[in-house]
Structure 1
């Protein structure tokens, strides 16, 4: 594998070693927090320590940052691979500069969202919106494997939607503790339940994407096979015959 292949695999590596373990831990802490709340209401005390709530909040923020980070890594690989392969900077230098600025603005907005104080409701909304807009704009660039005609099994659409839901969860987090009617808590639970389902879908669609996007050393063979098969039948590609060893 060359350096480009390593960058391609960086996204699934971080997802498997960081994001999905964090999802399990955050879900565990969320269930503990809910159980503690119910036990406290029922009996006035609970065996679950209060620190479970703090851990859930902190790990949830780490999870959101990790999700946004790996989405940006995947988008950067796809976009800049297209830029270098098609020499986009020679045809439209402004487009390349615009893309770089959007990346910088998205990263900056994410950092500022995390630094926004609990009483800065307006700024949290602004930075969350800018972060989400940045991800969507970058996802619309050439080179991104979107699979729009089969959106229901698209790794891109699952990932972008999950990232947007996580960003919303971080933005509304301080409101959960201020709202006595539990409306924001219910929004938080609904958004994260949907995100959890999307993460399960990402495990499936991510595996499919790894099979559909060949590594650099495989591209020549795959393209050659595709071209030969399409001369006969544009819609069917069969496995190549492997000769027996002498």
Structure 2
């Protein structure tokens, strides 16, 4: 196997070995937090903190594996003459720079406290993902939201999943302090769970070439 082949494996391998186990732990901790808040069961005071930490790790991990998939697509097109990568080395360097900037933004989002900074870094990360994903090297079933291919696209469900996770990470303090935000958080993460199942199905389909 070539280095590009190994890079191709990183995206699904990291999803299976890290992201999905962290998803399970995050959901479980979230249920415990809800039981603690409602007085159903007694939980340690550290449980909400652990739930928040797991959510942060999950969001950063999802952004990382998405960026790995994008970088793989760009490098594959660059090294394969049949794919005719346009723009040359200058465009490739710019794409890699945007990927590095998106990574830096999500890492900053995981650390900053002030609301404006959280909003800025969340938007910068998602804008980077959307911008990179709009490049012709990124395969999508359809860009038409009125077609079935759009809703079955691994790319578009992944973009929506990433955006929802970035929202939850950016709004962590508000979720802790507001009942309305907690309800919105629960609703959005039900959708996240559905999208993760869709990602598993569509990703496997794409790997099989269907």
TM over 0.5: yes
Instruction: Give 3-state SS (helix, strand or coil) of 1:115's partner.
Output: coil
Q: Does 1:106 align with 2:105?
A: no
Partner residue, 1:36: 36
1:173-188 maps to which residues of 2 (within 5 A)? 173-179=172-178, 182-188=179-185
Q: CA deviation at 1:68?
A: 0.6
The higher radius of gyration belongs to: 1
CA offsets, 1:170-200, max 9 Å, x none?
0000112233xx1211121111111110001
In 1, are the aligned partners of 2:59 and 2:165 still within 8 Å (CA)?
A: yes
In 2, are the aligned partners of 1:106 and 1:130 still within 8 Å (CA)?
A: yes
In 1, are the aligned partners of 2:109 and 2:118 still within 8 Å (CA)?
A: yes
Q: CA deviation at 1:33?
A: 0.8
Gaps of 5+ in 1: 41-45, 214-246
Partner residue, 2:130: 136
CA offsets, 1:185-236, max 9 Å, x none?
11211111111100011111111011118xxxxxxxxxxxxxxxxxxxxxxx
State the alpha-carbon separation in 1 of the partners of residues 100 and 68 from structure 2. 13
Gaps of 5+ in 2: none
State the alpha-carbon separation in 1 of the partners of residues 190 and 45 from structure 2. 23
Partner residue, 2:119: 125
State the alpha-carbon separation in 2 of the partners of residues 37 and 176 from structure 1. 13
Structure 1 residue runs of 4 or more that deviate by more than 3 Å after TM superposition: 86-89, 91-94
Partner residue, 1:59: 54
In 2, are the aligned partners of 1:128 and 1:171 still within 8 Å (CA)?
A: yes
State the alpha-carbon separation in 1 of the partners of residues 177 and 36 from structure 2. 19
State the alpha-carbon separation in 2 of the partners of residues 39 and 104 from structure 1. 44
Aligned length: 203
Q: CA deviation at 1:92?
A: 4.2
State the alpha-carbon separation in 2 of the partners of residues 94 and 17 from structure 1. 34
Partner residue, 2:191: 194
In 2, are the aligned partners of 1:79 and 1:142 still within 8 Å (CA)?
A: no
State the alpha-carbon separation in 2 of the partners of residues 93 and 71 from structure 1. 22
Instruction: Give 3-state SS (helix, strand or coil) of 2:39's partner.
Output: helix
Q: What TM-score, normalized to structure 2?
A: 0.90
Partner residue, 2:206: 209
State the alpha-carbon separation in 1 of the partners of residues 85 and 15 from structure 2. 30
Q: What TM-score, normalized to structure 1?
A: 0.77
